[in-house]
Structure 1
Amino acid sequence: MKRRILLNCDMGESFGAWVMGNDEHAMPLVDQANLACGFHAGDPLIMQRSVALAVRHGVAVGAHPAYPDLVGFGRRHLACSPDEVKAQVLYQLGALDAFCRAAGTQVDYVKPHGALYNDLVRDDALLEAVLEACAAYRPGLPLMVLARVDNGRERRLATAAGVPLWFEAFADRAYQADGQLVARHQAGAVHHDPQRIVEQAVAIACGEPFADCDGQPLRLTADSLCVHGDNAESLAVLERLRAALDSA
């Protein structure tokens, strides 16, 4: 492997008596935990427990803010204005960071969730709003965005806002030729074969090409790899992926 790549997972996405993921077993396998902040999943007790679990295992805490959409799990596009999005991100950041401060840590980065994450790829005003929220909350707070074939737009807007960027790729998602994710409603958008997920992850980590949705070679440069916690195979994949990345 030419350089070390981090491994992240969306966590803290349970709500009340409803359980999502297997955070207790997954947390020791990752470097970064993207924790729900109450808008798409998570509640105060879940957030508190998730932060404590991350601290126990030395895992960096990332805020995972979303549109206010508990029913749709944050995966529906809402017509929120840039001012609303900036306020929503600040609100969620503050909520999660309160639990971090109480546990002796802090929010290390911001990774938007679901529809908001995808909207940032297409909407300059929304991306600027999230960048402004990061800059206003704490100077130097990084924003994690989708690694694509060309991230010049994101770099330009982030530089103007004074916000560091971390680029993320997905081990368990299918890609279009330009590096955008295949929409979840399309067949084959999410990989379920553990071997395929591991192979795609290792290829990205090593800077090697992997197949896009049309079978053509795609190469991405990323700082962190995500495996979704709501994927039924996520725990088994994380165990294999951790071993593969550590030995590559």
Structure 2
Amino acid sequence: MAAIDLNADLGEALGDDDAMLGIATSAHDSCVVHAGAPLTSPRTVATTAARGVSVGAHPSDDDREHFGRRSLDVPPDRLTAEVLHQLGALQAHALASGTRVAYVKPHGALYNVIVPDKAQAAVVAAVAVFSPGLPVLGLPGSLVFRLAADAGLRPVAEAFADRASTADGTLAARSQPGSVLHDPDAAVGQALSIATQGWARTVDAGVTLAPFAP
């Protein structure tokens, strides 16, 4: 029987983290770079661990002003160092709560740019040094899947309940009309479609579905 992991962004001070932990099976912390505060990570990780939910890392570019959503031209060696630093800090909080970081999901621009930009292999390099074999979440068909596999990591395809996609399965830019599903019923419908059929909405003219098979 197929299994679906429900993951959520936490530690960003944007919603009800405790309520999300009631339905999520894994949750990734902001690493206090694009959002959050110094006490956010230890509290979020402790609560996540206490609820029996897997702890993930949500590293991003050092761009708090733009919530990590602005594309930055970061040299690969610097990016590797920045991501490794974030993973290490979060791991310390996880160990203090009796658990470990179970997976990595890049955030914002770092997540989107990792699809077409080979230079962002620096992210994979950081994860491989941090914990060989660790799962890396990404969009179906993205370059990070091949890079992660080559580095001995486990690539995991994911889809979004509240985001529309383009025909090739990449996320539609937030500036594009219809890219974010604000209607809860629409998001629920998309989640069910993904879980039962492996498809989701796109914003491309004349296209209604996009495959989410890895």
Q: TM-score range by the shorter chain?
A: over 0.9
Q: Distance in 1 between matches of 2:202 and 2:183?
A: 15
1:160 aligned to 2:146? no
Structure 2's unaligned 5+ residue stretches are none
Q: Which residue of 2 aligns with 1:146?
A: 139
CA contact (8 A) 1:39 1:67 kept: yes
Shift of residue 185, structure 1, vs aligned partner: 1.3
Provide the identity percentage.
46
Q: Distance in 2 between matches of 1:12 and 1:76?
A: 20
For residues 1-150 of structure 1, what are the structure 2 equivalents within 5 Å?
Answer: 3-14=2-13, 20-126=14-120, 128-147=121-140, 150=141
1:188 pairs, out of 173, 178, 188, with 178
CA contact (8 A) 1:207 1:220 kept: no
Aligned to 1:62, the other structure's residue is in SS state strand
Structure 1 runs (4+) greater than 6 angstroms displaced: none
Q: 1:209 to 1:107 in 2, by over 3 A?
A: closer
CA contact (8 A) 1:86 1:132 kept: yes
- Give the alignment's Cα RMSD to 1 decimal: 1.4
Q: Alignment length, in residue pairs?
A: 212
Letter in 2 for 1:105: T
Higher relative contact order (CA 8 A, sep 6+): 1
Shift of residue 208, structure 1, vs aligned partner: 4.2
Letter in 2 for 1:218: A
TM-score (norm 1): 0.81
Q: 1:208 to 1:113 in 2, by over 3 A?
A: closer
1:184-240 per-residue CA deviation (whole Å, 9 max, x = no partner) reads 111211001111111111111113434321343222126xxxxxxxxxxxxxxxxxx
TM-score (norm 2): 0.94
Q: Distance in 2 between matches of 1:158 and 1:182?
A: 23
1:220 aligned to 2:212? yes
